[in-house]
Structure 1
Amino acid sequence: MNRRMGIRLGWAVLAGAAADLAGLGLIAAAAWLITRAAEQPPLTALSVAIVATRAFATGKGVFRYAERLTGHDVALRAQAGTREQLYESLIPPQRPRHGGADLLSRMVDDTEAVQDLLVRCLLPAAAAALTALAAVVLGLFVLPVSALALVTGLVVAGVLLPVVTATAARRWSARIAPARAALAGRVTDLVHGSADLAAYGAGDRALDQARHADTALATLERRQARVHALALAGGTLTQGLTVAAIVLLAQDAGVGSVATAVLALTALVSFEPVLPLAAAGERMAGITAALRRLKDVRSTSPAVTEPSSPAPVPAGPLTVEVEDLVVRHPGAQGRPAVDGVSLTLTPGRRVALVGPSGAGKSTLLAALMRLAEPESGSVRVNGVDIRELASDDVRTLMTGLTQDPYIFQTTLRDNLRLAGPDADDEGLTRAVREARLEHWVERTGWDTELGEDGRTVSGGQLQRLALARALLYDPPVLLLDEPAEALDETTADGLMADLLDATHDRTTLLVTHRLSGLERVDEIIVLEEGRVIQRGPHDRLVTEPGYYRDLWESEVLTRR
């Protein structure tokens, strides 16, 4: 929190305290006025109390409005700042520790803890302390022994009960946030994966798991609600007993009906800002757990290390040299995902990576885009190690189509313009034509709104749309990860042919399981278990015994 927000928070505390003190003064003045008026004194004896009552009534509303306005402004700014910090901490690629639904729960629910900390805990506590102090001072002035009873009641309601409720709620609150995240994950799976669940007959099981997560969360929340109810009952009981004790003490002391009424009603009102502290103590346990979860996300180590003084971006044309690159997945044991791979991409050169699933092809692309940290070896662009460049700069040089393209819930045109904000209609049309998507675009229209995460398009359309976006971005080095995935054989062959035409004289690294059209690339590298087992042009590899020839013969037989 910066200095300006700290000052605004201080004003909110003062305004809240002033509102509570005005309420306390209102009750004290009104009590004195009513009881004194019953004795039928001259009107002039009541004039000061009448004016004070009106002033306190007006001031309470004004100060409460100021406290709400200032306090919520600070709280909402603090919440927005926390969400911004959390979002910024997620922008650099991180080691995978949290699922998407869990992160969404932390972004939406846990960041509200910052707002609750200010509005429901700190501000009420500060205002309650000042109001309680004023009530005790008034008691000392009128009847000192009543102040002792009032202090006892206020300590019980404002200190002991919040501590007890916080301790009891902590047991459940530490489990409620993960349970809420688990339910969010189950619901997300049901919503986004409904088609797949139905196809595999797993819908009922997924629904049962969601119901179980909902039941577990409801059970925890009911237990927390019991704590809240007991705290409220305990505070109300303490308030009543304290007021009764003060009335008895005042009667024994013989201070008169006016003083007795003032003391009793003042004590009653002084509990109003104190009683919510028990709920604040209960909420504090949940806030603490939420803040720990936010800290856990912010403290997640980035997948790559940024240089303290990034080197300038190399100017084109670019030559990419990968030398003895070794990449290991975080926490993985045994063989690295990429083990001693070397390759060279000169300007206009096209290289294809093939191999079985898990061979390390996508991991190699991730390392080139600075989404994964090499264990050893190097990747150099015009002689500059990419670890000396800012990650964002690396991705302006080498990027393209990844395995997890994301489609936003907006129009087709806007989804494409993410890659080229200034692209005109001609550029957009050329990109969709190269991705073999023009017929679908003509049929649906440029302004068709696509569902979140591509739910309203097929897998093939999603893949081709992401490919069109990569072609529109047109980086100096184009990286393509399985561009023909999720397409039927005819469409995939046509797409690969168009893609190879579109990347003519364009530096390209292509990851694929399909060998159709690879006779047109400059070099084919076969990976297995992270290592290069074959490399060379298509014409030579189909004549050598090994994985590539076996896969080629299998494709030929399939096509027949």
Structure 2
Amino acid sequence: MRDLIPYLKLYRRHWFGLTLGMLLGLATVLSAMSLLTLSGWFLAASAVAGLTIARETFNYMLPAAGVRGFSLARTAGRWGERVVSHNATFKLLADLRIFFFRKLTPLIPGRQTNLRDADLLNRLVADVDAMDHVYLRLISPLIIGVIALLAICGFLYWFDPELALILGAVLLTLMFALPVLFYLLGKKHGETLTMAKAGFRIRLLDWIQGQAELLLFNAEPGYREQTLNEQQSLLLAQRRMASLTGLANAMLLLATGWTLVLMIWLAADGVGGNTPDPMIALVAFATMASFELMMPVAGAFQYLGQTLTSARRLNEIIHATPDTTFAPNGHQSQVKGEIQVEQVHFAYHNSTQTVLDQVSLELKAGQKLALLGRTGCGKSTLLQLLTRNWDPQQGQITLDGVPLPQWQESSLRAAISVVSQRVDLFNGTVRDNLLLAKPDASEEELSATLTKVGLQKLLEGNGLDTWLGDGGRQISGGERRRMGIARALLHNAPVMLLDEPTEGLDRRTEQQILALLFEHMVDKTVVFITHRLVGLEAMDQICLMDEGKIIERGNHQELMAQQGRYSQLWNRI
């Protein structure tokens, strides 16, 4: 149960709605029990009165009004409880997803990147959804059940203390025994069901997202078969939980029947020392009504194993420690753009291979640096260190003389614009994807920026409301690249990090984009990674990297004069 503590704390934000829903639920249960109890007594009393002279004096109107009143109260209470409690629960789940996402974001791209996208999606959707069991199927039914139990026993105690105590003892025994029993029976099945959902979602998403590659390599039938196997595992787990639900209902019906027989037998000689009268029917129907509050209790603990498993899966993310942490009250100031990398050494977690080995460089504000080298030599990793996705194991990186770990995260992010190799586009409109870079940008500014990067055709038709699809699949790879450049232009930070910004573009478009970037970067500090030797004459520094080290550095003229590796590369084109 300790795994649920972080989620119970979130309930304080919605205490009013959750408490109101619980009160309405209690009112509904009490109305339902009162309706059944009063109806049973009223029918029996009316029948007896009809056979005797009491039919002339029996008050039919007041009990009939009570039946109608409790019936209306039960209907209204049920509707109100559903509206209020589900509204509060949905808001709670929305807050929980935001809370989970905020905990997840600092872990990327750290050690948690080994988690599959589908697994993270399953935790964000299915595992968070399982948390509604804590309130709707655990806390609320238990509290309502205990209060309603005391109410029905107190009501019967007014007429016959012995019968009230016996019924209370039976109900209390069942209320404590059944949850424990069904928690033990459902614990293993709940864990299996949670893992089966995760496995099926992962396999299904892989199958859907990889359709093109699977069909190309004739691997689609095998993946489809594996997906169907995961589906069968999920269906089997659901069938077992359904069987357990049926067993719980059967046991409650059996307990209801035997308790009803016991209470009728005890009340047969009269209630409260009186001769047998319609009060026997009141006791019988009160007994049946009291078991209505027991129905959700067993089900709550049946699914507790599933809820705890989901909570543990969420806690793996929530309690994980980010590889890089930011101080909330860290350094913040107007950034000039001076960057200094001092003897930086870096290797990835659980890897003995060195990625960067004693790398040092210095950029004054407004200077531009080009990084060259073959794939895997550490260029992109250096950019990741500059944005503090990771921290070096040795050495340090400073921005305006302040070590990066001392910066406040929001200030550091505002100071740097990044165009990475992979441009992530979200399943939304063009406007949605551009406003990520500048939330207060006007439509005119967005349209002008798209035109600058050569994406004016996206303004046709629906314009900024054009839907890009999942991952931007509605546009080409080159267009996705230019969307990333458009974001960098909108962000307009004093430091720009460009990782192959013109990769995948034709030569003409590349020249246009480079001219646009150089115009935009006039007074900015720039780190520019490229495999294509274009635009290097305008760079203040050029560093050629190999195996995590800088093997040559200088401007274009200096490196050409050295007749080294850079000169050889240049002469080949």
Deviations 1:359-414 (A, max 9, x none): 22222112211222232322222222222211221121122212332213333344
Q: 1:412 aligns to what? A: 430
CA distance in 2, matches of 1:189, 1:378: 40
Q: 1:309 aligns to what? A: 329
Q: Is the 8 A contact 2:269 2:276 kept in 1?
A: no
CA distance in 1, matches of 2:243, 2:284: 30
Deviations 1:404-455 (A, max 9, x none): 3221333334433432445567755664455454567679955532112111
SS in structure 2 at match of 1:335? coil
Amino acid at match of 1:92: P
Q: 2:100 aligns with which of 86, 92, 102?
A: 86
CA distance in 1, matches of 2:59, 2:463: 79
Q: 1:394 to 1:4 in 2, by over 3 A?
A: closer
Q: Is the 8 A contact 2:107 2:321 kept in 1?
A: no
Percent identity (aligned) = 30
SS in structure 2 at match of 1:374? coil
The answer as to 2:522 corresponding to 1:475 is no
RMSD over aligned Cα atoms: 3.1
Q: 1:76 aligns with which of 81, 90, 114?
A: 90
Q: Is the 8 A contact 1:434 1:502 kept in 2?
A: no
Q: 2:317 aligns with which of 297, 311, 314?
A: 297
Q: 1:125 aligns to what? A: 142
Q: Is the 8 A contact 1:114 1:287 kept in 2?
A: yes
Quote the offset at 1:4 in angstroms.
Answer: 7.0
SS in structure 2 at match of 1:515? coil
Deviations 1:60-116 (A, max 9, x none): 334434433443343233223222322322343543423332222222222223333
CA distance in 2, matches of 1:270, 1:68: 21
Q: 1:38 aligns with which of 34, 40, 47?
A: 47
Q: 1:297 to 1:209 in 2, by over 3 A?
A: same
CA distance in 2, matches of 1:417, 1:78: 27
The answer as to 2:30 corresponding to 1:12 is no
The answer as to 2:211 corresponding to 1:202 is no
Quote the offset at 1:225 in angstroms.
Answer: 1.7
Q: Is the 8 A contact 1:420 1:472 kept in 2?
A: yes
Quote the offset at 1:153 in angstroms.
Answer: 4.4
Quote the offset at 1:510 in angstroms.
Answer: 0.9
Q: 2:3 aligns to what? A: none
User: Which consecutive residues of structure 2, in runs of 5 or more, have no partner in the other structure?
Assistant: 1-9
Amino acid at match of 1:400: V
Deviations 1:504-538 (A, max 9, x none): 45421111222233233222222333222222334
Q: Is the 8 A contact 2:458 2:466 kept in 1?
A: no
SS in structure 2 at match of 1:38? helix
Q: 1:484 aligns to what? A: 502
SS in structure 2 at match of 1:399? strand
CA distance in 2, matches of 1:430, 1:15: 55
Higher mean C-alpha displacement, 382-391 vs 71-80: 71-80
Q: 1:324 aligns to what? A: 343
TM superposition score normalised by structure 2: 0.86
The residue correspondences of 1:179-328 to structure 2 (distance < 5 A) are 179-251=196-268, 256-316=276-336, 318-328=337-347
Quote the offset at 1:275 in angstroms.
Answer: 1.6
Q: 1:181 to 1:303 in 2, by over 3 A?
A: same
The answer as to 2:372 corresponding to 1:363 is no
SS in structure 2 at match of 1:275? helix
Deviations 1:107-162 (A, max 9, x none): 22222233332122221222222222233344455555544653454346433222
Quote the offset at 1:228 in angstroms.
Answer: 1.4
> Across the two proteins, how many residue pairs are aligned to each other?
553
Q: 1:401 aligns to what? A: 419
Q: 1:387 aligns to what? A: 405
The answer as to 2:124 corresponding to 1:107 is yes
CA distance in 2, matches of 1:439, 1:71: 48
Quote the offset at 1:270 in angstroms.
Answer: 0.7
Quote the offset at 1:476 in angstroms.
Answer: 0.6
SS in structure 2 at match of 1:39? helix
Q: 1:23 aligns with which of 18, 32, 37?
A: 32
Quote the offset at 1:457 in angstroms.
Answer: 1.5
Q: 1:460 aligns to what? A: 478
Q: 1:347 to 1:169 in 2, by over 3 A?
A: same
Quote the offset at 1:232 in angstroms.
Answer: 1.5
CA distance in 2, matches of 1:552, 1:339: 26
Q: Is the 8 A contact 2:270 2:280 kept in 1?
A: no
Q: 1:526 aligns to what? A: 544
Amino acid at match of 1:49: P
The answer as to 2:366 corresponding to 1:348 is yes
Quote the offset at 1:497 in angstroms.
Answer: 5.9
TM superposition score normalised by structure 1: 0.88
